[in-house]
Amino acid sequence: MSVTIRTLHKRKQDGEKFSVLTAYDACFSRLISDAGVDAILVGDSLGNVIQGQTSTVPVTLEQMAYHTECVARGNQGSLIIADVPFMGAATVERALETATALMQAGANMVKLEGSAWLADSIEILNRNGIPVCAHLGLTPQAVNALGGYRVQGKDDAGASELLEAAKTLDQAGAAMLLLECVPRELSARITREVSVPVIGIGAAPECDAQVLVMHDMLGISPGKPARFVKDFMAETGDIRAAFKAYDLAVKDGSFPADEHCF
Ligand code: KIV
Ligand code: NA
């Protein structure tokens, strides 16, 4: 049975967690969905792990659509979320065009990076039958404006701005939120105070779901891993087992642990 947006909303109501991993091709998409991972994110992190770029800024809509098609062919029933790339939601018109291409490539939902200002795009996309996940906190497409990959919402002003943005987008009709590199306490509070599921990465075990970049959790990304990464390959020694161990650890609440949070 395919995972839908309704399935995942019901999980939050029932207090059950769900798991998300990135994939960019048919083969890994199949393994990840076979392992029981509920949603697959075709992340623009493909700029880093597939293309070898130093940020996600160079990734194009054409590339996102291509990888979404590849993932959709391998998928065995997980919900497919596709990233709107850099500048893809700069205007409401752009957001509509970009989301159209990604949905027609096989996505079930699009993810937009930003803040409260995404509300207009979310409303129009919803009206046209496109569910939206709003990505808040550390938004990597804005790395040049943020001055690096840093934890967001650390001071009181930043924290209340983030909380307000989350509530605004919940009310605007976002189908999900994603928090990246947001302090644990604030992430837990946002998760409690919005109606829709919250996916965390570098956020909190209290979030309704977790996501990791597949290459990170297999321990094959170059360089020093981020604090929030756990290498599930190290303890299993097998790719299929690593995906299953991740899914289980998210669902039983053992990942993330304190050491993965800010
Ligand atoms: O592109 C990506 O993989 C992402 C996740 C890290 C949340 O946006
Ligand atoms: Na992304």
User: Which ligand places an atom closest to the C-alpha of 43?
Assistant: 1
pLDDT in tens, the chain (262 residues): 899 999 999 999 999 999 999 999 999 999 999 999 999 999 999 999 999 999 999 999 999 999 999 999 999 999 999 999 999 999 999 999 999 999 999 999 999 999 999 999 999 999 999 999 999 999 999 999 999 999 999 999 999 999 999 999 999 999 999 999 999 999 999 999 999 999 999 999 999 999 999 999 999 999 999 999 999 999 999 999 999 999 999 999 999 999 999 9
- Residues annotated within the binding site for 3-methyl-2-oxobutanoate are 44-45, 83, 111
| Residues with a CB atom less than 6 Å from ligand 1 | 22, 41, 43-45, 83, 178, 180, 201, 211, 213
Residue whose CB lies within 8 A of the most ligand 1 atoms, among 45, 55, 133, 187, for a mutation test: 45
- Residues annotated within the binding site are 44-45, 83, 111, 113
* CA of residue 238 to ligand 2 center, whole Å: 26
For residues 111 and 95, the answer to whether their CB atoms sit within 8 Å is no
Tokens of 119: 């509300």
**Which CB contacts under 8 angstroms, 24+ apart, belong to 191-198?**
193/163, 193/166, 193/167, 194/166, 194/167, 194/170, 195/170, 196/9, 196/12, 196/170, 197/8, 197/9, 197/11, 197/12, 197/18, 198/166
Question: What ranges in 128-228 are assigned the alpha helix state H?
Answer: 143-146, 156-172, 184-193, 214-217
